[in-house]
């Protein structure tokens, strides 16, 4: 499927751009690069049919948000994923309002970026719902539904949950709970790949390899590979802007919502960007 997906990487850091292009090409994407916004616009104006643009926010000459706006005017069907190491609440909100598909922070796991690119191509862009009233608290946009995993589940169970629900937003991390729904840790795609890699050091494995051959995963339980902590957990009554700032500071895009000592749902940074009413100066 990736063979037909054309990606343009736009970033002024040449070595980062070349490395990212190499990793995406290895995963089957057709990749072009541009080292600034002006060159990116020339490539788009030339009629190259890019499906997805991976665009850095902070660049000299023409910043990423300005480049995003001009790309969307030239090629409105091209999805743009903002990628930055200088995240702020304001820049995230501005990017979403200008039509960005999503907003990821450096360093970004290549498997997460790969899945995000696939999601952008497989789905029609989600229509942004007009905000009819301000939403200021976590409880107002908490997503209550998530697949429960327990510490004693096999690694293949996490693989199943990651792959469940075609057409749904990409799951970037799964929460591992105990029988009383208390948070125990998180497991990511990278955790599963590394577990399989340790079991098969003679191979160079990707997420696609695990999907095609789940038996590559060792016969271990999630408590052996999960990260037994989470940088932050939030309560339903917290302010959205403050939560977004904490998430950015901790470089996380999805966190559990905890009431008492139980996980009741989760909240995503991209959702906060859509709903927070903030004056961008």
Name the stretches of the chain with pLDDT < 70: 1-3, 87, 122-135, 144-146, 165-172, 229-231, 276-281
Q: Residues of CATH 3.10.580.10 domain(s) within the chain?
A: 138-275
Quote the mean pLDDT of the chain: 82
The pLDDT of residue 33 is: 95
For 73, phi then psi, to 5°, come to -75, -40
Q: Residues of CATH 3.40.50.2300 domain(s) within the chain?
A: 2-122
Instruction: Please name every residue paired with 258 in a beta bridge, in sequence order, or none if there are none.
Output: 263
61: left (phi over 0), alpha (psi -120 to 50) or beta: left
The pLDDT of residue 138 is: 87
Asked whether the beta carbons of 177 and 184 are under 8 A apart, the reply is: yes
What Rg do the C-alpha atoms of the chain give, in angstroms? 19
The pLDDT of residue 129 is: 42
- Quote the CA–CA distance of 210 and 59 in Å, as a whole number: 36
The pLDDT of residue 17 is: 93
The pLDDT of residue 139 is: 85
- Quote the CA–CA distance of 31 and 16 in Å, as a whole number: 14
Q: Which CATH architecture has domain 138-275?
A: Roll (3.10)
The pLDDT of residue 161 is: 85
The pLDDT of residue 127 is: 39
Torsion of CA 148, 152, 154, 160, to 10 degrees: 0
Q: What digits encode the pLDDT tens for the residues 92-104?
A: 777 877 888 888 8
Q: Which fold has domain 2-122?
A: Rossmann fold (3.40.50)
């Amino acid at each position: 499927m990736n063979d037909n997906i054309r990606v343009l990487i736009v970033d002024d850091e040449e070595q980062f751009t070349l490395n990212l292009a190499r990793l995406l090409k290895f995963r089957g994407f057709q990749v072009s690069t541009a080292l600034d916004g002006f060159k990116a616009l020339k490539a788009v104006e030339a009629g190259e049919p890019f499906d997805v643009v991976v665009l850095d926010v902070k660049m000299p000459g023409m910043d990423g948000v300005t480049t995003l706006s001009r790309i969307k005017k030239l090629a409105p069907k091209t999805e743009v994923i903002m990628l930055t190491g200088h995240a702020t609440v304001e820049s995230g909100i501005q990017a979403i309002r200008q039509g960005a598909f999503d907003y990821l922070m450096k360093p970004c796991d290549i498997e997460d970026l790969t899945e995000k690119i696939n999601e952008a191509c497989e789905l029609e862009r989600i229509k942004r719902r007009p905000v009819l009233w301000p939403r200021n608290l976590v409880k107002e946009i908490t997503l209550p539904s998530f697949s429960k995993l327990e510490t004693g589940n096999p690694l293949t169970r996490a693989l199943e949950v990651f792959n469940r629900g075609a057409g749904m937003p990409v799951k970037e991390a799964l929460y591992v709970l105990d029988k009383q729904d208390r948070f125990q840790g998180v497991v990511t795609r990278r955790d599963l790949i590394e577990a399989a890699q340790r079991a098969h050091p003679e191979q160079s494995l990707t997420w696609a390899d695990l999907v095609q051959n789940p038996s590559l995963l060792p016969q271990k339980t999630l408590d052996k590979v999960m990260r037994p902590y989470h940088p932050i957990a939030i309560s339903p009554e917290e302010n959205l802007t403050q939560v977004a700032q904490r998430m950015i500071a901790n470089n996380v895009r999805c966190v559990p919502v905890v009431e008492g000592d139980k996980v009741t749902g989760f909240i995503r940074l991209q959702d906060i960007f859509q709903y927070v009413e903030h004056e961008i100066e």
